Structure 1
Amino acid sequence: MTSMFDLEDPVSPLSDPDQGTGTAVLERPETQEETKRDDGGEADRFAHYVSKERINESRLTGRPVVALCGKVWVPKRDPSQYPVCPDCKRIYDEMMR
């Protein structure tokens, strides 16, 4: 079994036990997701597939949800007034096979 700390390495937190505790920094590149948020227009009026838990959480927090098709928005309208999103339906049907 190997340790993630090298006792011979002067930078290792275990090389000098009298030194106390330390903090290591893990650097990683910052990534940003490409998301399109609903602008409130009439161009994309579909009822999208999102879990009920996420919808309820969004209603309480105001945070956006992500549909199966990838649409990101804060639900505010009655979905029964709109046709089902064809992409969400296709993805859902494929998941249920």
Structure 2
Amino acid sequence: MDKKAKELMEKCEKMDDSSVMGSCRVLLELMDQKKVEVKEDMDQTYLQMAENLKPKDVSKVLQIALKVRESGDIKDTELKNAASVLIRAIEMS
């Protein structure tokens, strides 16, 4: 994880912003809808995570977004855009 990603992760720990939470939900629901899997240690599906999203989960969703944005295997532009929107929302908060 690079320095910028670490800074974003630290921001997430104190986050309770409704726009960021909405962006998290959109990304997770899209991943479920498009059946995209990112190697991540999760105890629930993306849809379950979206439905039960809490502020403490934002850092985990950020990790997923960073992987989606940087992945060469994922070509879906809608999904990549959703990941970028979430990352920007966290940067701007």
TM-score band (shorter)?
A: under 0.3
Q: Which protein has the larger Cα radius of gyration, Structure 1 or Structure 2?
A: 1
Q: TM-score, normalised by structure 2?
A: 0.24
Higher-strand-fraction structure: 1
Structure number with greater CO (CA < 8 Å, separation at least 6) is: 2
Q: TM-score, normalised by structure 1?
A: 0.24
Higher-helix-fraction structure: 2
